[in-house]
Amino acid sequence: MQVFRRPRPGVNAVLPGCVATIGVFDGFHLGHQCILDRVRSEALRLGLPALVFSFEPTPQEVMHPRQAPARLMHFRDKVRFLQTNGIDGFFCPPFEHSLRDCPPEAFIDRLLVRTLAVRHLVIGDDFRFGQGRAGNIEHLKAGGQRHGFAVEQVGSVIQNGVRVSSTAVRAALAAGNLAHARELLGRNYRMSGRVVAGRQLGRQLGFPTANIRLQRHQSPLAGIFAVRVHGLGPQPLDAVASLGTRPTVAGVEPLLEVHVFDFDADIYRRRIEVEFVAHLRNEERFADLEALRRQMECDAAEARRLLTGTPT
């Protein structure tokens, strides 16, 4: 898959014609996956590359960084997801403030036509773009008639009476409802990152941890979890994880700490992926380290119990 961050100006600067979709695509939930299915199918029919267009960072993260919603998926994870799901190109330019006041017609002409040479565009039913987010399906259809590309809108996916959306996934994760998040995503929620050195407190308590900094303003979930760790061997490894600020030791920065069961190796700077299987409890402050250690023993035992026999 080709990744285009800053394409050259001019006609067909990215790909010589394509079937494309555009959106934030945070999390690639079941609704997003339906859109990708249509993009791949139409690209195969027309003999054109399949392309995803998404600003990186997102418009909200650029214009209102502290108010932007918790991100479900890092850029690196988006790239990997698209690579393994049959997409040929990922156009992911940084959002420019000038685009905030760009009329819908100019947005279409500049990005969809002159940069991408779109031949067929697939969008979700909630997609808006351009100045004041005024651009909608009617603007796109008019632009398609003007420039010779087709526009297809994919309806929402309803799962157990709930419209599948990134907002719904965030709400499920914030509530610790991993089962509902799994229904919306079609898979367990995951986070990835590089293991960094910590304070070695976990090792002192008998629970050495792999520590991952979140590198985001806020996390979509927090608490203690039964997890599986990918990237340390041919099979995922069972583990227990804490995601939060560690109030017992006066922590401030959110951190993901993972204790991998029956595992002892130097994995600093290794990139791992943590799959969240079950929520055990909320994070809490303990009176002292001994009380924390006793609770960690209970958490580890419960995580082992839940992961035993749980399908990967």
Query: What amino acid occupies position 298?
Result: C
pLDDT of 205-219, one tens digit each? 778 999 999 876 689
Percent of the chain whose pLDDT exceeds 90: 75
pTM of this structure: 0.93
Q: Spell 3-15 as b/e; 16+ CB within 10 A means b.
A: ebeeeeeeeeebb
DSSP 8-class letter at 161 = T
DSSP secondary structure letter of residue 98:
G
What is the dihedral angle through the alpha carbons of 20, 25, 28, 32, rounded to the nearest 10 degrees? Answer: -50
As a whole number of angstroms, the distance between CA 107 and CA 101 comes to 10
188-307 belongs to CATH 2.40.30.30: yes
Q: What are the C-alpha distances in Å from 182 to residues 32, 156, 173?
A: 14, 17, 10
Helical spans, DSSP H, in 137-231: 137-147, 166-174, 178-185, 201-204
Question: For residue 212, with 0-12 CB atoms within 10 Å meaning exposed, 13-18 middle and 19 or more buried, which class applies?
Answer: buried
Crossing angle (nearest 10°) for helices 178-185 and 166-174: 160
Tell me if domain 2-159 and domain 188-307 are identical in fold. Answer: no
Domain regions of the chain by residue span: 2-159, 188-307
Determine contact, residues 130/155, Cβ cutoff 8 Å: no
When pLDDT is averaged across residues 241-251 and rounded to a whole number, the result is: 81
* pLDDT, tens digit, 9 for 90 and up, residues 93-129: 999 878 888 999 999 999 999 999 999 999 999 999 9
For domain 2-159, give the CATH superfamily. HUPs (3.40.50.620)
